[in-house]
Amino acid sequence: MTTEASQWLERIRALPIEGPVRIMNVCGGHERSITMAGLRRILPAGVELIPGPGCPVCVCPEEDIYEAIQLALREKVILTAFGDMLRVPVNVPKEEARSLEQARAAGGDVRPVGSPMEPVRIARDNPDRQVVFFAAGFETTTAPVAAMVAEGVPENLSVLLSGRLTWPAVAMLLASGAPGFDALVAPGHVSTVMGPEEWQFVVDDHRIPAAVAGFTPESLLAAFYSVLRQRIEDKPFLDNCYPEVVRPGGNPGAQRWLNETLEVVDANWRGIGIIPGSGYQLREKHAAVDARSRFPAYREEARRRAGQMPPGCDCAKVVLGKIYPTACKLYGAACTPRTPVGPCMVSDEGACRIWWSSGARLAE
Ligand code: SF4
């Protein structure tokens, strides 16, 4: 542990904490740093760190993945997607392709990509083929997709968008009356794009302490100290513990791309249901690059899959911070990274995958 991290830890330990205090994070990167650095073990008893809705792959609804699989298999498109998405299983009969990876094994041309530039290059290299970019992500990932659309894409490229906003999921939890957390560590990357002000409602509307954090143990410990102190002093405010990157107002250029090309709509979250104002869809003026407009045949078929989840999978509860990954009956038994049942065990940002990678094996 660095000197700075040790100093933050000492400050936390010196606080008169009357537990339990539940601090939720909403970022897979935060959860990874917390778990890999072992921060849960070193914090004072009574401080709980709860992984929340921070994994976009984990909340991508079954119908969107199903639609991508059908496009790969039945339209013979080149289906591009961020690598995490390829192994996410859908709940279809065993004889059907249950993931994009299985669609590829069945003859589909499915290619993992690392950025929106790659589908553009693939489309230019294959002018006689239709290329679909299945783009699932939160604001940070969706902004470059919006930029790609704004700048214009090759005619043979379309986008199957599954973009989500993070704050409405937190707002939904808070509005439920049983949010399951007492303080919030807000995501650094999302705040970089949208501005830290996006989380001000947590303080103003709910008097919940909040702090934006970066991804190092030092920044996370600083954020934990801030929210614990706010709570002890009963003076909640929105702190920015990642000021070197997160600026007031965020990134206006990225926000302009988002606003120009996309509109905010109600959206389905896997296993959770519709969250108002939590999704992005392409604006009407960009319908030509919308894969759902270009290949409308699967929309209804896919829509009928809404709400499907693998039997026994508790991903929705994990995503909402209602249970820890190890409380799922399938964790480490039927569900491992080699045989994932749910997306939380597939994605690098999924809490189940992160906990498994850290060696967590038994229900705690
Ligand atoms: Fe879903 Fe597997 Fe996690 Fe259980 S262990 S919640 S089945 S991903």
CATH of residue 269? 3.40.50.11740
- pLDDT at 74 (0 to 100): 94
Query: Is the pLDDT assigned to residue 155 strictly greater than 90?
Result: yes
- pLDDT at 362 (0 to 100): 65
- pLDDT at 358 (0 to 100): 95
As a whole number of angstroms, the distance between CA 324 and CA 126 comes to: 45
Position 363 in a domain? no
Mean of pLDDT over the chain: 95
> 94 and 230 share a domain?
yes
**Residues 166 and 59: beta-carbon distance below 8 Å:** no
**Residues 362 and 326: beta-carbon distance below 8 Å:** yes
Please choose from 99, 315, 322, 356 the residue to mutate so as to test ligand 1's pocket, defined by most ligand atoms within 8 A of CB: 315
- Taking only the tens place, the pLDDT of each residue in 159-175 is 999 999 999 999 999 99
Q: What is the mean pLDDT of residues 189-195?
A: 97
- Taking only the tens place, the pLDDT of each residue in 85-121 is 999 999 888 899 999 999 999 999 999 999 999 999 9
Ligand 1 atom closest to 310 (CA):
7
Ordered DSSP codes for 240-255: ES-TTT--TT--HHHH
- Taking only the tens place, the pLDDT of each residue in 328-340 is 999 999 999 999 9
Q: What is the mean pLDDT of residues 169-196?
A: 97
Q: What is the mean pLDDT of residues 289-297?
A: 95
Range of the domain at 339: 315-357
Query: Is the pLDDT assigned to residue 363 strictly greater than 60?
Result: no
Cβ contacts of residue 177 below 8 Å, gap of 6+? Answer: none
> 221 and 325 share a domain?
no
Reported as a pLDDT band with limits 50, 70 and 90, residue 303 is confident
Between the CA of 288 and the centroid of ligand 1 the distance, in Å, is 37
- pLDDT at 319 (0 to 100): 95
The response to whether residue 88 sits with its C-beta less than 6 Å from ligand 1 reads no
- pLDDT at 185 (0 to 100): 98
Cβ contacts of residue 309 below 8 Å, gap of 6+? Answer: 62, 91, 270, 271, 315, 316, 342
Q: How many domains does the chain fold into?
A: 2
Paired strand residues for 265: 279
> 274 and 153 share a domain?
yes
Q: What is the mean pLDDT of residues 322-349?
A: 94
The response to whether residue 330 sits with its C-beta less than 6 Å from ligand 1 reads yes
Protein residue with its CA nearest to atom 5 in ligand 1: 331
Position 362 in a domain? no
> 256 and 162 share a domain?
yes
> 165 and 301 share a domain?
yes
How many other CB atoms sit within 10 Å of the CB of residue 96? 14
**Residues 28 and 349: beta-carbon distance below 8 Å:** yes
Ligand 1 atom closest to 340 (CA):
2
> 294 and 341 share a domain?
no
**Residues 188 and 29: beta-carbon distance below 8 Å:** yes
Ligand 1 atom closest to 332 (CA):
5
As a whole number of angstroms, the distance between CA 67 and CA 300 comes to: 10
- pLDDT at 173 (0 to 100): 97
> 147 and 83 share a domain?
yes
Please choose from 99, 328, 356 the residue to mutate so as to test ligand 1's pocket, defined by most ligand atoms within 8 A of CB: 328
Reported as a pLDDT band with limits 50, 70 and 90, residue 300 is confident
**Residues 247 and 212: beta-carbon distance below 8 Å:** no
Between the CA of 302 and the centroid of ligand 1 the distance, in Å, is 23
Q: What is the mean pLDDT of residues 52-79?
A: 95
The response to whether residue 149 sits with its C-beta less than 6 Å from ligand 1 reads no
Does 93 or 81 have the greater pLDDT score? 81
> 5 and 64 share a domain?
yes
- pLDDT at 306 (0 to 100): 79
Cis amide prior to 89 (ω within 30 degrees): no
> 254 and 327 share a domain?
no
Position 364 in a domain? no
Between the CA of 80 and the centroid of ligand 1 the distance, in Å, is 25
> 190 and 331 share a domain?
no
Percent of all residues in the chain with a pLDDT value above 90, rounded to a whole number: 92
